[in-house]
Amino acid sequence: MSSNRTIALIYSEQDDAQIEGGIKGWVTNFHKFLSTLMYQITRENPEIKLISESDFSAAELDNYSVILAVLTPNLAKEKVIINALNSHGKKLKSQGRILADGVARFFKVLKRPFDPDEHLPELEDLLTYDFYLVDPLTGDPQEFTRFFGSDAERSYWMKLVDMAYDINHVLHAKEADEGSGSYDTIPREKTVYLASTGVDMVIQRDIIKRELIRHGYKVLPDHSLPKEAKALDRMVRDDLERCRLSIHLVGEDYGYKPRGSELSVVDMQNRVASDHTYQMVEKNKKAKDGEKELFSRLIWVSPDLKNVTERQKIFIEDLKSDAASLEEAEVLQIPLQELKTIIREELVTGGRFNIRKDIKGLSDQKKDEKTKMIYLIADKRDVNDIDDLQSYLKDKGFNVVSPSYEGDLVDLRYIHQENLRRCDASIIYFGQATEDWIKTKLQDLLKAPGFGREKPLEAKAVYFKGQKDVDMEHYKKNNAMVLGNNGGTFSPEHLKPFLTKIES
């Protein structure tokens, strides 16, 4: 492999036909944009050489530090090129040089959906760079013919920037025989499993991956996932063993199913991660304090779900139920920006494993041994509607606490968990909040033992402000009383069953 930092961009001339409206071909534009980005990143001018089937030479592959191939059915027909790329990949693997400091020297570029693995088996483990959109409603792929606009900025350009940084990483990486690279020596504490997603969550996943890598974290999987279920299961388990945290992004799309499975890849990765979490919990119970290996799992459900199938609804409910039994697993339905804050907290400070006591908002919430503490959980939009309920409970001699709404997100989350740990009973106020929000808070009550509760809640209830058109069976299954469902204004009579249970 030459050290002259020359990049080969291999393509079929048919894939560079002029685009409608007189715009230059897809490959020509890709080459121009990538060249510009490489200069902006490196302040150098690495040569990106365009190579089509008419000027391809297998003997020259060794002269390039990086090889990009625009893989399409058109290029797959060029057997001379395909055979040469396979042979070159096989040689690099035998020399231990297919990766440069953890990043592949060969970049598989897809302008439309295409499975290149049957044509390039020697390179099937390498990730693809997908430069196209998939309509989340219809599943139809959309090739970019306009390279500017909101869709292009969020997908095409973001992916191109990622590729440019990866190419630059390879160009400046040490050769394998000069010693192990920094990527391979990144410790478990800075390694994250970021599960693959449905088509509607690809952009969100790219955003999370980009930020993790920029902050020095290793993100797995760093290879293409197997298309067969058993091989996929093994690979996910092996990757999770190397990680401190797993992140799962869930949207409207259930995901594709690998061969030999009725479950999607998204579902399979969640189940394997759940098994791994339980195994880590049991392992840490037997380990000494200094020998424990912390592992946690964050499941993010998009707060913007609209067209959700019954299958996906069941999948999401199963995720919430599974996560409720472990402190180490958490389902979050919050804005993406807030998710990024929580990810950073988990990785930088230890998150829920970091015991902190001096947080503003907790100091005045301590209760004596005799006074019972009721945690009145309300969404911020309902905070002005709980005054009568709160005042009545205080007049009855209870110490009533509510969530904090102002301050750092991580601190607010910690205060919420502390209230769950310390309260004797809890009421969730169902006013203007969504039912999904209410169900999430019910899951939090189930998880309370994971936050250090030493005894069960004496009572838990959902207080309905007026009648709600909801499935009451869900609340019965969660052993939650339903209060106030027949009236629009607060009445002490609404609380009678709840208070009777506490007093008994």
Spell out the domain ranges in the chain: 1-183, 186-354, 363-503
Query: In this predicted model, which residue has the larger pLDDT, 471 or 275?
Result: 275
Query: In this predicted model, which residue has the larger pLDDT, 466 or 117?
Result: 117
pLDDT score of 140 more than 80: no
Torsions phi, psi for 428 (to 5 deg): -100, 125
pLDDT of residue 2: 45
Which of 266, 222, 218 minimizes the C-alpha distance to 245? Answer: 218
Which of 309, 342, 305 minimizes the C-alpha distance to 417? Answer: 342
- CATH 3.40.50.2300 describes domain 363-503: yes
Round to whole Å and give the CA distance between 497 and 139: 50
Of 29-43, 400-414, 487-501, which gets the smallest average pLDDT? Answer: 400-414
pLDDT of residue 363: 47
pLDDT of residue 182: 52
CATH code for 1-183? 3.40.50.10140
Cβ of 323: how many Cβ atoms within 10 Å? 25
Residue 362 corresponds to which tokens in the numbers above? 């907790």
How many Å separate Cα 467 from the centre of its chain? 36
Q: Is the dihedral of CA 434, 438, 441, 447 positive or negative?
A: negative
Confidence of residue 426 (pLDDT cuts 50, 70, 90): very high
Average pLDDT over residues 180-185: 54
Q: Which of these CATH numbers, 3.40.50, 2.70.98, 3.30.2420, 1.20.120, describes 186-354?
A: 3.40.50
pLDDT score of 437 more than 60: yes
Confidence of residue 488 (pLDDT cuts 50, 70, 90): low
Cβ-count burial 206-217 (b if 16+ within 10 Å, e if not) = bbbbbebbeeeb
Query: In this predicted model, which residue has the larger pLDDT, 420 or 179?
Result: 420
pLDDT score of 81 more than 90: yes
Q: Is residue 471 classed as helix, strand or coil in its secondary structure?
A: coil
Collect all residues with Cβ–Cβ distance below 8 Å to 112 and sequence separation of at least 6: 72, 132, 141, 143
Average pLDDT over residues 45-52: 91
Average pLDDT over residues 40-62: 89
Round to whole Å and give the CA distance between 500 and 493: 11
Of 34-48, 60-74, 125-139, 246-260, which gets the smallest average pLDDT? Answer: 125-139
Average pLDDT value for the chain = 84
pLDDT of residue 174: 59
The proportion of the chain whose per-residue pLDDT surpasses 70, expressed as a percent, equals 87
pLDDT score of 487 more than 80: no
- Helices and strands per DSSP (H, E), number in the chain: 15, 19
pLDDT score of 175 more than 60: no
Query: In this predicted model, which residue has the larger pLDDT, 171 or 11?
Result: 11
pLDDT score of 345 more than 90: no
pLDDT of residue 299: 94
Of 77-81, 122-126, 216-220, 363-367, which gets the smallest average pLDDT? Answer: 363-367
Residue pair 201/250 in contact by the 8 Å Cβ criterion: yes
Using alpha carbons only, give the angle 301, 265, 98 rounded to the nearest 5 degrees: 115
Round to whole Å and give the CA distance between 203 and 213: 15
pLDDT score of 65 more than 50: yes
Q: Are 1-183 and 363-503 in the same CATH fold?
A: yes
pLDDT score of 137 more than 80: no
Distances (CA, A) of 46 to 39, 61, 105, 159, 372: 8, 16, 15, 19, 70
Average pLDDT over residues 461-467: 86
Q: Where are the beta strands (DSSP E) in 27-123?
A: 48-51, 66-70, 99-100, 103-104, 106-110
Average pLDDT over residues 18-28: 78
Burial degree of 55 (CB within 10 A; 0-12, 13-18, 19+): exposed
